[in-house]
Amino acid sequence: MLRSGNEQKRSGILTVIFYIGALTSCACGKEQPDMADKAQVGVAYYNQSDTFLNQLIECLKEQFEQYANDDFEIALTVRDAAGSQRTQDDQVEELLDAGCDVLCVNLVDRADPSEIIDLARAHDVPIIFFNREPVAEDMMQWDKLYYVGADAKQSGVMQGELAADFIRGSKNADRNKDGKIQYVVLEGEAGHQDAIIRTEYAVATLKKKGIVLEKLSCGIANWNRAQAQNRMMQMISRHRNKIELVLANNDDMALGALDAYKKLNVTEAVLPIFFGIDGTDMGLKAVADHQLAATVYNNKEDQAAVMAELAAALIFETGMQDIPFTNGKYIYMPYFKITDENVDAFYSEE
């Protein structure tokens, strides 16, 4: 059983130490954690302004608690790169110098992991990349590189299916009754695997399902709610009430699009339908409140669980055979659909 979780913020470093199981007794009878065995895991992530990543990191902290045991402690040190690859390279160097045993890295620039890989290899510390998938050639640079994430194509297909089902079941989706759905897309970062692929497959799936589409506009909003609101304002001023469908690469951007309509105080009758991806706390609430039509759950709990399992296998040098690898070093956790029919099982008001 977890005895205590201890969080400290010191010089910008968030350190979480988990003491698990039996606490040893010292001569004075006061319980002390057994410090004999300790592992350190360094977590570096691209930007703390990203809602989904913050929620994923929270899950990760919870998951690591379970991999400490009677005489073992795991210290997790989390560093935010604030969007700079240079900063992240330096942070990784510090984490390695501080003696971490495993690194979990959410790259800022998924095409630029070489410095981090060289540093880790020099210290012989394995890297679990997560969420921002390095290109395949870079994953071949060393045999102690792993990736945990999800299959972007699956999320795009699911978003397309959800939108197609919703449109088929609604009399009002095609508001101007021209037989087509006028749509706009809000995209995540240029060059991110989850942006291009989600858009491509959401649109292709809608078409495959027989929905006739007319694309009005597309804007990059970097996964960010405020940027999405701005982009959406521009699109609304250009297309007025013509927009019938908003496909957003994540929930924060779908919510930002909705914010734009709220700010303009438009009537219900001219609101388009909004679809997100992630199932963040706010995204789920918006589905429960019927503000987003649906979302696709980016399974942060399972991603975090398998990262902790893999890190533990690397630390203890046992259990690798239980990890569900694809091609030896990749682990993809499935997405699933969330609509008003199943949202209550995932979302509660607290």
The option from Ca ion, ligand GAL, none interacting with 174 (CB < 5 to 8 A, set by class) reads Ca ion
By beta-carbon proximity to ligand GAL, the closer residue of 85 and 182 is 85
User: Of 225 and 329, which CB lies nearer to ligand GAL in the complex structure?
Assistant: 225
Cα 170 from Cα 189, distance rounded (Å): 32
Site residues for Ca ion, window 176-195 (CB under 5 A)? Answer: 176, 178, 180
| Residues 344, 348: Cα–Cα separation, whole Å | 7
User: For residue 9, what are the β-bridge partners?
Assistant: 14
Q: Which does 132 bind (CB under 5 to 8 A by kind): ligand GAL, Ca ion, none?
A: ligand GAL
Tell me which of Ca ion, ligand GAL, none is bound by residue 131, counting a contact when its beta carbon lies within the kind-specific cut-off of 5 to 8 angstroms: ligand GAL
**Residue 52 touches which of Ca ion, ligand GAL, none (Cβ within 5-8 Å per kind):** ligand GAL
Query: Which of 53, 312 has the CB closer to ligand GAL?
Result: 53
What six digits make up the tokens of 201?
């497959």
| SS3 call for 213 | strand
Nearer to ligand GAL, 73 or 194 (CB): 194
Q: Which two tokens stand for residue 223?
A: 């996964």
Least Cβ distance, residue 149 to ligand GAL (angstroms)? 7
Q: Residue ranges of the alpha helices (H) in 28-125? A: 51-65, 85-97, 114-123
Using CB distances below 5 to 8 A depending on partner kind, what does residue 194 bind out of Ca ion, ligand GAL, none? ligand GAL
Which residues are at the interface with ligand GAL (CB under 6 A)? Answer: 50, 52-53, 131-132, 188, 192, 194, 223, 250, 277-278, 298
Question: Taking the CB of residue 115, how many other CB atoms lie within 10 A of it?
Answer: 15
Shortest Å distance, C-beta 111 to ligand GAL? 13
CA 126 to chain centre: 21
| Among ligand GAL, Ca ion, none, partner that 176 touches (CB below 5 to 8 angstroms by kind) | Ca ion
270 in contact with Ca ion (CB under 5 A): no
Name which of 25 and 176 has its Cβ closer to Ca ion: 176
Q: Which of 94, 174, 200, 301 binds Ca ion (CB under 5 A)?
A: 174
Which is closer to ligand GAL, CB of 192 or CB of 242? Answer: 192
Q: Which of Ca ion, ligand GAL, none interacts with 297 (beta carbon under 5 to 8 A by kind)?
A: none
List strand residue ranges (DSSP E) for the chain, in order: 2-10, 13-20, 24-25, 31-32, 38-45, 73-80, 102-105, 127-130, 145-149, 181-187, 213-220, 245-248, 273-275, 295-297, 330-332, 336-338
- Residue 126 or residue 283: which is nearer to ligand GAL going by CB? 283
Contacts 24+ apart (CB under 8 A), 297-300: 297/335, 297/336, 297/337, 297/338, 297/346, 298/52, 298/150, 298/155, 298/335, 299/150, 299/333, 299/334, 299/335, 299/336, 300/52, 300/55, 300/56, 300/59
**Interface residue list for Ca ion (CB under 5 A):** 174, 176, 178, 180
